[in-house]
Amino acid sequence: MALFRRRRSADSTTAFTDFWDAWPALREALTSAVESDQPVPAEVSERLTALVHAVHPDMDWEVGPAPKPGGGGLEDLDLSADVDPGKLLEQLAALDDPSRLDGPAYALTLRPGASEEARIQSERWARSAPEDDQWLFQPVRPADHDRLSSTVRWDDHELDLSHVSVSMRVDHATGKVEVGVYHPDNMFLSERTRERLAEHVALLALGEDDMVRWIGKTAPLDEPPLDPLPPTSMPAVVRQMADMLGGSGGWVTLHGRIPLQGAVEILLRHPLTRRDFPAFTLFVQVVVPYTHMDEDKLPTESSASALDDLEARVTSVLGDNGALFMRQTVGGRRDYRYYLDPESGVLPEFEAVLTDWPEGEVKLRSQMDPSWSQFNAARRPFRRQLGE
């Protein structure tokens, strides 16, 4: 029962190897630039840009101080009514943990922007990074609320971001959130600088991935918004608006019946964007038969327990190298749709978990699928139930 095994892309592997081979020669100059808060020397910048473009031509990069481990401050806590009290206590304890101040001092961040292909490559680049106790290698710019109280300088204007307020509204036609950004100095800025400032504030508040997931438009405001919000509240507001648009993550369970086969139960991730699992490009379908079933041909007794155990073992083996996207149970078989990171080396372990299933022959089908076309096709019949 051999799974499809793929050699690493020669182009991407060469680009990653070349990058990390060059890293020791670039590291000192980049460290000095961050320490002195000065631009990276031109020769080093050109060399680094060439290496990054070899990973993907749409990619950009930046260096700076590493974000503090453990996340931001009180403003980042999830204070919604349905939050798990235990989770909230863990978040509060983490804020008081001195160890959260430890970690790398500097960060090299790739900037894939809105390009999904570039985001896949930036994730692979980060996963291929060597151990470096002084440098953090980030595949995308994360949120950075500390910088929302700092100053930035553009076009000879020094702008204190602590004076920024924002407005947010859902555009139901696009399924995205529109953000307006007001700064008292907007009237003195060029249109381009005002637009850059609006994008910059949203990026610091949400991070690059959530910008792509949820934000359809950012725009500067001439006047303060009627219901002003601090930029630090944007993640919580986006989560609320995402729920209005169909949910901000998790699973949806659907039920139905198929003639001659009985009841069908479908579990799938929804909503799901390419940003959620950028490294997972290998599609694997696993069909597992079961022998103990009820009158609707759904698993019962020992079969139900065995399937639960199998799923738990697969999840443990995959770790952060793969994920279940969809599960369909009907007519004496359970059909799983997984996506894996083909570069992770997890395939043999994944296969080994499935080889000793005692209730019949497990069937597998796999193919490279960077665009998730297999998952999209499987979920297409349920778009109406998903509110799309």
Other Cβ atoms closer than 10 A to 339: 23
Average pLDDT over residues 117-121: 94
Distance, in Å, from the CA atom of 145 to the CA atom of 204, rounded to the nearest integer, reads 6
At a CB cut-off of 8 Å and minimum separation 6, what does 209 contact?
119, 140, 275
Sign of CA dihedral 266, 269, 273, 277: negative
pLDDT tens digits for range 120-171: 999 999 999 999 999 999 999 999 999 999 999 888 889 999 999 999 998 8
Q: Which two tokens stand for residue 374?
A: 């297999």
Assess contact for 284 and 338: CB atoms under 8 A: yes
DSSP string, 123-182: HHHHHTPPP-SSEEEESSPPP-GGGGGSEEEETTEEEEGGG-EEEEEEETTTTEEEEEEE
Element (H, E) at 63: strand 60-65
Distance, in Å, from the CA atom of 164 to the CA atom of 205, rounded to the nearest integer, reads 11
- Give the confidence band of 11 by pLDDT, cuts at 50, 70, 90: low
pLDDT tens digits for range 16-75: 999 999 999 999 999 999 999 999 999 999 999 999 999 999 999 999 999 876 544 544
Whole-structure pTM value? 0.80
pLDDT at 260: 76
- Give the confidence band of 245 by pLDDT, cuts at 50, 70, 90: low
pLDDT tens digits for range 285-304: 999 999 999 999 999 999 99
Average pLDDT over residues 196-213: 95
pLDDT at 8: 43
Nearest CA-CA partner of 244 in 171, 147, 191, 303? 171
- Taken in order of first residue, the domains within the chain and their CATH numbers are 8-67+83-138 (no CATH), 146-233 (no CATH), 251-378 (3.30.70)
Distance, in Å, from the CA atom of 209 to the CA atom of 240, rounded to the nearest integer, reads 17
